[in-house]
Structure 1
Amino acid sequence: MKAVRLHAFGPAENLSYETVPRPAPGPGQVRIAVAAAGVHLLDTALRQGAQGLPAPLPPLPTIPGREVAGTVDALGPGTDPAWLGRPVVTHLGFAPGGYAEHAVADADRLHPVPDGLDPAQAVAMIGTGRTTLGILQFADLGPTSTVLVPAAAGGIGTLLVQYAKNAGATVVALAGGPAKTARATANGADLAVDYTTPDWADTVRAHHPGGATVLFDPVGGATARTALGLLAPGARHLVYGWSEGPLTLTDAERAHLTARRITTRTVLGPAMLEAVGTPDPLRTLETRALAEAAAGRLRPALQRYPLARAAAAHRDLETRATTGKVVLEPRQR
């Protein structure tokens, strides 16, 4: 089979499209003929060999990728035969192997692909969708909410805009460049602002002088620092990424936020899982995300690449040249 392998940590060019043996499922496992594999920003950090990540570095060589959808074409010993031939989607957890024509997964982590979703949409919801719904547990959105959504044309940003609009909130989308702001507007944002322009904060302030009640923050850095100045008293700053680097504030700025009752909370990791309140919180979020997409309430934005162009997909994701969820397709239409 064809697969993308990494033999040495480093740049995207280290991803190699190769012929490798097809894997065999073990006890309680299935093999999936992969139709779509998700690409996550964490994949790019793992490829670089970065330290301090929420996932361990894999032994090399490795086939990256932790989100796959396709059809079950083989069963391991003791696996329920009802899975054979079924369209499924799964998150592989810390076990990579998704960037390939076939991947092995534990049967107890499988979800049937809901009717009406293609494999790429299902892959987007099993990872990006579950994270989005986990973040939203801390937002309490409603008709009186005004939300700021940086990276609004990205995979999570797209879903946050849709969910907020469904809740009746006013949505201010922040995106980089006119093409991405146009996408955010088409996605339902009430105001879409190009935050690569120097006066972007003035534009937001002119339209919403009372301030926003929620800031969804995947960027950190200078953008988050500016966005905090656009929040209303009592607002919530929900952090789920640091693509621009850490947010640095002076003691005076922190005191100002405290005086205005603006709270900052990192919502990934244990906090997100504890908030779900079920024995298997990740599976609960996955199930909810797939149901939201199947009902048409959440519609993932996708950028599709052939499997052979995994290196290009990584480069584009790292340079913010993508919109929506990045997906590799071994047999791209």
Structure 2
Amino acid sequence: MHAIRLHAFGPAENLTYERTEDPVPGPGQVRIAVEAAGVHLLDTTLREGHSGPFPAPAELPTIPGREVAGTVESLGEGADPGLLGRRVVAHLGTVPGGYAELAVTHADKLHEIPGELGAAEAVAMIGTGRTALGILSFTDLGPGSVAVVTAAAGGIGTLLVQYAKNAGATVIALAGGPAKVARAKENGADLALDYTLPDWPDHARAFLDATGPRATVVYDSVGGTTARSAVDLLGKGGQHVIYGWSGGGLHEGRPLTFTPEELAERAITSGSVLGPRLVQRGGGLRVLETRALAEAAAGRLRPAVQRYPLAEAAAAHRALETRGTIGKVVLEP
């Protein structure tokens, strides 16, 4: 098979497209003919040798990637014969191997792709979708809510905007550059602003002054000055929900934090929802994955996908690192 392999930690150029041996499914495992493989910002961090929610690879070379969709084409000992030929999607967990034409995983990680959902869209929902629903479980959106979404044209941000609008909330979307602002508007945002422009907070405050209530929740994956300006839009009782801080790079950036005194003075709450809290609050990974796929299959959530050929994984990584992507990045063999 062909795969992307990393022989040495470092820049995106270290990702090489090459021929390697086909993986062999072990007991209880299946082998998937991959149609789409997800790329995550975390992958760029692991590529450089930094740990995150997952540890950096202990041995090289390695095949990156933890989200795949395709067709089951081979079974390991003990795997259900009924899985053969099924269109499935899986998050591989701590064991990578997704950037390839073939990938192996345990059968209990599989979800059958529902309805006519495409492989790339299924990949987006198995990782990004489950995270978005986990984040949303910390808030209670409704017709009286006013949500501010940073990085609103990203994979998670796209879904947060759509979900909030479906719930009847007013949405202020923040995105970097005209193309991303336009995409956020297409997703239903009531106001979409370019947060790279210095006057965006003025436009947001003018909008809130005209419509009435202050913001009730800020979904923040950027941190830094953008997050601080967004939090300034919150009214009393508002929530600052942190799920990333990409403003300085995944392993270099810092989340926006407040002292207890500042929170008391503002009468708001602020905190990260990443890690075990997100999984527990959402009912577990399996539940979140199943819900995410169902929402996409029903058309209630429409993941944005940016596709790259498998051989161009390095270009996909560079685009992610420079915020040059819209939505979920997917590699297609």
Query: Normalized against structure 1, the TM-score is what?
Result: 0.95
Per-residue CA distance 1:270-306 (angstroms, 9 max, x = gap):
11122134xxx10110000000001110000000000
The corresponding residue for 2:122 is 122
Is the CA contact 1:174–1:193 (under 8 Å) kept in the aligned structure 2? yes
Q: Deviation above 4 Å: which 4+ runs of structure 1?
A: 248-251
Superposition pairs for residues 270-285 of structure 1, below 5 Å? 270-277=276-283, 281-285=284-288
The corresponding residue for 2:146 is 146
Q: Name the aligned partner's letter for residue 54 of structure 2.
A: A
The corresponding residue for 2:271 is 265
SS in 2 for 1:100: coil
In the alignment, structure 1 segments of 5+ residues that lack a partner are none
Is the CA contact 1:225–1:247 (under 8 Å) kept in the aligned structure 2? no
The corresponding residue for 1:168 is 168
The corresponding residue for 1:15 is 15
Is the CA contact 2:244–2:255 (under 8 Å) kept in the aligned structure 1? no
The corresponding residue for 2:233 is 230
The corresponding residue for 1:47 is 47
In the alignment, structure 2 segments of 5+ residues that lack a partner are 248-252
Is the CA contact 1:70–1:87 (under 8 Å) kept in the aligned structure 2? yes
SS in 2 for 1:234: strand
Moved more, 199-208 or 268-277: 268-277
Looking at structure 1, the residues matched to 254 and 67 of structure 2 have their Cα atoms a distance apart, in angstroms, of 27
Is the CA contact 1:222–1:247 (under 8 Å) kept in the aligned structure 2? no
Q: Name the aligned partner's letter for residue 312 of structure 2.
A: R
| 1:308 lines up with 2:308 in the alignment | no
The corresponding residue for 2:250 is none
SS in 1 for 2:277: helix
Q: 1:38 to 1:115 in 2, by over 3 A?
A: same
- Could you tell me how far 1:211 is from its partner in structure 2? 2.1
Identity, in percent, stands at 69
Looking at structure 2, the residues matched to 233 and 8 of structure 1 have their Cα atoms a distance apart, in angstroms, of 50
Looking at structure 1, the residues matched to 266 and 5 of structure 2 have their Cα atoms a distance apart, in angstroms, of 50
Is the CA contact 1:65–1:96 (under 8 Å) kept in the aligned structure 2? yes
Q: 1:250 to 1:80 in 2, by over 3 A?
A: closer
Is the CA contact 2:142–2:169 (under 8 Å) kept in the aligned structure 1? yes
SS in 2 for 1:172: strand
Q: Name the aligned partner's letter for residue 161 of structure 2.
A: V
Q: 1:249 to 1:130 in 2, by over 3 A?
A: closer
CA RMSD of aligned residues (A): 1.1
SS in 2 for 1:208: helix
Q: Name the aligned partner's letter for residue 246 of structure 1.
A: R
